[in-house]
Structure 1
Amino acid sequence: MAPRILTITLNPTVDVAADAPAVQPVRKIRTTNESFDPGGGGVNVSRVLQALGGETLALVLAGGVTGHLLAELLTEAGLPHRAIPIHGRTRMSHTVHDLAAGLEYRFVPEGPALEAGEWQAALAALENEAADWVVGSGSLPPGAPAEFYARAARIAAGRGQRFVLDTSGAPLRAALDAGGAGPIALIKPSRGEFAALIGRPLEAPGALEEAALALVRQGGVGLVAVTLGHEGALLAETAGVLRLPALEVPALGAVGAGDSFLAAMVLALTRGEAPREAFAWGMAAGAAAVMRPGTAHPRREDVVALRQRIGPL
């Protein structure tokens, strides 16, 4: 069994997905094939970790009737979790597949505002849950300070845990700039999120690779994996940069593909795989998630087959 991986999601969601014949303004759009998934960055990571054979616990903040629904969905999925109650209602996100146009529309609410005691309770929980790795993933809801993940990383470092972060904007910058937290093991921004972090466009040939390599060599983060959508992804470690093209697969949905990538990569790292091998497993899981409808539902057999397709590195 792999070491236990704790995920934390301050802004989870109930993900509702459906198909529509066509999306048009004003007219009533009737949908079919509705599905409900527990969602949010860390929740998705934990679900995929479990599907791939990892041992995980999802720590979530949940409130209101939608928070009860989230807990019910997590229980139905058989996912070990701990819910910290909040006064606000857990958000619901909506994804609609326009069958005529072949397009996907995603509507993602901001989330409920947290009281100080609620996000502080999440940090207290981190200090008491056993884990070898901690994954902080997703946006921060209103009321949570930008330094939340920096504080979480500091707690993990003090307990000898490896900390992984998948967020963007001010929370990502604050975590990387935090003194005394120790190096973060891995961050996984998208191209746009990484360019915003660096503070300049990275469109010139080689600019993305150069910036990612410079960041890891500064010492604040061990690995940088930048997802590039249909162009694939790149991995920067102190030894150099690896860039892999996207795997061509039939696309049924993109929700949770990045979380699936992160889950598989972290799981491989916990099992002692080299960073480049872990990166390849992440590529395989992200592509496998795209092949399935709903939020982050890669099949283990698809992940294995796609990893074999990538071949030796």
Structure 2
Amino acid sequence: MRIFTMALNPTLDVSSDADRVQPTHKVRTRNQRLHPGGGGVNVARVVLELGGSPELMILSGGATGALLEDALGRLPIPLELLHVKSPTRIATMVREEQTGLEYRFVPEGDPISEREALAALQRLETVSDAFVVASGSLPPGAPVDMYARMAAIARKNNCRFVLDTSGPALAAGLSGEPVFFVKPSLSEMEALIGATLEKADAEAAALELVGKGSARYVAVTLGADGAILAGPDGAIRLASPKVEVRSAVGSGDSFVGAFVWALSEEKDSADAFRWAIAAGAATAMTSGTDLCRRGDIESLFARITAVT
């Protein structure tokens, strides 16, 4: 199946390094890097890195949108643009070298109109027989049930709808037609059900979502502790291989991209889960807003083990 990814609230990701981050004083940075970003964009970049052929639709606006389009135009990814009046947001990440800590500044973005939001739904009506990946936050102004509406359209068109978001958009996205795959982090799952979760509780919560038909597969990511995958045949937990972490930016998106790519290559869900864990860890090894590299993913894949 083809892979059609959407980024309704994409970003220009700017990352750099500084000796020390401190208030009031100028913080001199170096090693500045700029990448196209946002959930759906990162998913497409990872699918491409793994040898897939993703398609990407983005909402883009203003001078910053032009910069985003230019950056994406250098990649061999078919790109569909839905232009909006609001400028594309810029996200900033600074790594403090003295401590190794990351400081991430991610604006919510400017509002879009209802008409602009509906244009994305209308475009999705033309997509069939595909993995449809909706990843990232909703821009202000978009209906909170935007992803639920997309899930209904995808189901009607024989698509497998993949959802990766948080907060009210996640809750609304799981309240309508069943989705094929959803990937909350542990904190996002806690916010969804309104309770603090231990790992065993997270597994039970994921299985409950599967059991009541909200999703066919639910992955709960646990950071350096790996992830849990619940599906029709039960749940498994895999440990993440130990790596030197340089940046957590994009690890969740890489997980989603690798999982969907593997399924599109007709690998089973357990195998796809291993690819996803490996891609998330491989992205953590890279600096700033760089994402995973296929060679690292393949090397880490062989080191992944089940948690008993």
TM-score by length of 2: 0.96
- In the other structure, the counterpart of 1:256 is 250
- In the other structure, the counterpart of 1:188 is 183
Q: For the structure 1 residues 216 and 296, does the alpha-carbon distance in structure 2 shift closer, same or farther, using more than 3 Å as the test?
A: farther
Work out the percentage of aligned pairs sharing the same amino acid. Answer: 48
1:217 aligned to 2:211?
yes
Task: Tell me, in whole angstroms, the C-alpha distance in 1 between the residues paired with 2:2 and 2:301.
Answer: 23
Q: Which amino acid aligns with 2:56?
A: A
Note the C-alpha offset of 1:21: 1.0
Note the C-alpha offset of 1:210: 1.2
- In the other structure, the counterpart of 2:167 is 169
1:300 aligned to 2:294?
yes
Question: Please, which moves more after superposition, 77-86 or 250-259?
Answer: 77-86
Contiguous gaps of at least 5 residues in structure 1: none
Task: Tell me, in whole angstroms, the C-alpha distance in 1 between the residues paired with 2:206 and 2:86.
Answer: 38
- In the other structure, the counterpart of 1:84 is 82
| 1:297 counterpart SS class | coil
Note the C-alpha offset of 1:77: 2.7
Task: Tell me, in whole angstroms, the C-alpha distance in 1 between the residues paired with 2:186 and 2:169.
Answer: 17
Note the C-alpha offset of 1:202: 1.4
Question: Please, which moves more after superposition, 292-301 or 54-63?
Answer: 292-301
Question: Please, which moves more after superposition, 279-288 or 71-80?
Answer: 71-80
Note the C-alpha offset of 1:70: 0.4
Task: Tell me, in whole angstroms, the C-alpha distance in 1 between the residues paired with 2:244 and 2:208.
Answer: 35
Task: Tell me, in whole angstroms, the C-alpha distance in 1 between the residues paired with 2:200 and 2:131.
Answer: 32
Let me know the Cα RMSD of the aligned residues. Answer: 1.4
Q: Is the 8 A contact 1:232 1:243 kept in 2?
A: yes
Note the C-alpha offset of 1:42: 0.3
1:31-42 to structure 2, matched below 5 A, reads 31-42=29-40
1:33-112 to structure 2, matched below 5 A, reads 33-112=31-110
Instruction: Deviation per CA, 1:2-36: give whole Å up to 9, x if none.
Output: x3201111100000000001111111111111000
Q: For the structure 1 residues 296 and 233, does the alpha-carbon distance in structure 2 shift closer, same or farther, using more than 3 Å as the test?
A: farther
Runs of 4+ residues over 4 Å off in structure 1: none
Task: Tell me, in whole angstroms, the C-alpha distance in 2 between the residues paired with 1:81 and 1:290.
Answer: 27
Note the C-alpha offset of 1:80: 2.0
Task: Tell me, in whole angstroms, the C-alpha distance in 2 between the residues paired with 1:138 and 1:312.
Answer: 29
The alignment covers a number of residue pairs equal to 307
Task: Tell me, in whole angstroms, the C-alpha distance in 1 between the residues paired with 2:17 and 2:108.
Answer: 23
Task: Tell me, in whole angstroms, the C-alpha distance in 2 between the residues paired with 1:224 and 1:27.
Answer: 45
Q: Is the 8 A contact 1:281 1:303 kept in 2?
A: yes
Q: Is the 8 A contact 1:5 1:131 kept in 2?
A: no
| 1:22 counterpart SS class | coil
Q: Is the 8 A contact 2:128 2:159 kept in 1?
A: no
Note the C-alpha offset of 1:253: 1.2
| 1:100 counterpart SS class | coil
Q: Is the 8 A contact 1:37 1:294 kept in 2?
A: no
Q: Is the 8 A contact 1:44 1:296 kept in 2?
A: no
Q: Is the 8 A contact 1:48 1:296 kept in 2?
A: no
Task: Tell me, in whole angstroms, the C-alpha distance in 2 between the residues paired with 1:251 and 1:78.
Answer: 29
Q: Is the 8 A contact 1:9 1:61 kept in 2?
A: yes
Instruction: Deviation per CA, 1:239-258: give whole Å up to 9, x if none.
Output: 22111122111112111011
1:124-203 to structure 2, matched below 5 A, reads 124-129=122-127, 132-178=130-176, 181=177, 183-203=178-198
TM-score by length of 1: 0.95
- In the other structure, the counterpart of 1:237 is 231
Q: Is the 8 A contact 2:95 2:288 kept in 1?
A: no
